[in-house]
Amino acid sequence: MAIIRAFTSSSLLNTFNNVGTRALGTSATQFAEAKKTSVAKPGAKNIVLIDGVRTPFLMSGTQYNKLMPHDLARQSLKSLASRLSLDKNSVDYISMGTVIQEVKTSNIAREAALGAGFSDRIPAHTVTMACISSNQAISTCAGFMYAGVYDACIAGGVEFMSDVPIRHSRKMRALMLKLNKAKTTGARLSLLSQLSMKHLMPELPAVAEFSTNESMGHSGDRLAAAFKISREEQDEFALRSHTLAHNAQEAGNLSDLVPFKVPGVDQIVDKDNGIRVSTKEQMAKLRAAFVKPHGTVTAANASYLTDGASACLICTEEKAKEMGWKPKAYIRDFTYVSQDPKDQLLLGPSYATPKVLGMAGLKPSDIDVWEIHEAFAGQVLANLKAMDSDWFAQNYQGLPGKVGAPPMEKLNNWGGSLSIGHPFGATGVRLIMHAAHRLIKEDGHLACITACAAGGQGVGMIVERYPGATV
């Protein structure tokens, strides 16, 4: 609880009154000049992002509720192949992230690949790293290519919160296992006589830390209190996210989304259905969702349970040229961090940002586009305060001084997880596609992607715009 007791950072640097999108306005000449300072490592292999897609992100329990996670993952792979007119034998490896696994398809990457018509000779594996699972899928594939094992990979992720596995109680499971081993009718009847109502109580899943038994919402509330983030500031940031996402949706900027004809649903699903521009007055009426009655995290300023899947094609630059694929961005440096899951569960961006910028030899002012995962409005604002605090840098990170907070006009200009939605295993690909597309649309050069994750972990990634890239 050290942060709660000791953090005394200055007040929030930025206000959020400007909810309109704004291009960075860099000229073609400036971009050409910036290219001369590419962050490519001398002698290192260039890994490029060709393109990525996602299903519409939907609130759980809506149009996807009769599907399986496998259906969404398969759809994302089929959509990627269709968009790129991809020869499905041209891919060497597939990796997908997920968090809450369906036991029937435990290696969902493999099942989705087979269902999408990819060759059965293409290996696939599933990775889980909470909210940064598809980031890990991307960097795992990049690692294979850096090592010269593969030349072209698909990375993605999926989450399906409409039908999470619910287990029998431990007592019931133990009884059923004993019944399965019983040799005689008498032995089975004896075991059944022990059955009581307590056995029938199911174990419901919870979005909680195993190590602390605390929900992420409680951590978000405590973090907001520690960094003195008011309820009003959180609601204002959430309103900003929904407004920017709505603007981006109307402008056609969310082009990574591919419409989906869902079996059993009459209309084609072609939009994220959680984007809802409200008012400060309406948001202020909502009650605390976790720390009751005085908490500041509510349903309006927290990300919601979401169904969705995503996939992207990444490859070596040589492979792209060989196949005639047109890259959107270079994937440069990436790093993963971890810290105390009790007191600093959601501070991954604060730790990952200085580390990944240092790896790339960059300053925050070099970054044109910032994409930070929005688990909670208070979590994003707390990270911005931490990044702008010399005290935090010196006492918690062992750094001589602060890295500096991103300017608000460069941050999540097309909305974020608060508004678009957050399918845990799929968000990482959504973040990298927004970063790549924003670099093109806003005429930028470099992007930084950061996210927090359960377990007190986090990711930082640097993406560089590819010369001549188009959306």
Helix residue ranges per DSSP H, 126-262:
133-146, 170-181, 185-192, 216-226, 231-251
Written as one letter, the residue type at 226 is A
| Tokens (6 digits) for 338 | 């971890």
Interstrand relation of 58-59 and 306-316 (parallel, antiparallel or unpaired):
antiparallel
Q: Is the dihedral of CA 221, 226, 230, 233 positive or negative?
A: negative
In DSSP terms, 156 is beta-bridged to 96, 311
- Element holding 311 (H helix, E strand): strand 306-316
Interstrand relation of 457-465 and 329-338 (parallel, antiparallel or unpaired): antiparallel
In the residue annotation, 315 being an active-site residue is answered as: no
CB 64 within 8 A of CB 103: no
Q: Strands, E, within 35-104: which ranges? A: 47-54, 58-59, 93-97
Report the alpha-carbon distance of residue 130 to residue 133 in Å, rounded.
6
| Degrees, nearest 5: CA angle 202-204-210 | 125
Of 153, 312, 448, 452, which residue is the catalytic one? Answer: 452
Number of H helices, E strands in the chain: 16, 10
Count, residues in the chain: 471
Report the 10 Å Cβ neighbour count for 470: 9
Out of 131, 312, 315, 448, pick the active-site residue: 131
CB 256 within 8 A of CB 433: yes
Give me the phi and psi of 310, to 5 degrees please.
-145, 160
* CA dist list (Å): 280 to 145, 234, 294: 48, 10, 18
Instruction: Give me the helices (H) in 397-426, please.
Output: 417-420
Which stretches of 75-151 are assigned E, i.e. beta strand?
93-97, 124-127
Q: Which residues share a beta bridge with 458?
A: 337, 452
Annotated catalytic, 153? no
The DSSP line for 357-369 is HHHHT--GGG-SE
- 340 burial via Cβ count (<10 Å: 0-12, 13-18, 19+): middle
Q: Are 442 and 426 in contact (CB under 8 A)?
A: no
Question: The tokens of 368 are what?
Answer: 């044109």
Q: Which residues are identified as catalytic?
A: 131, 452
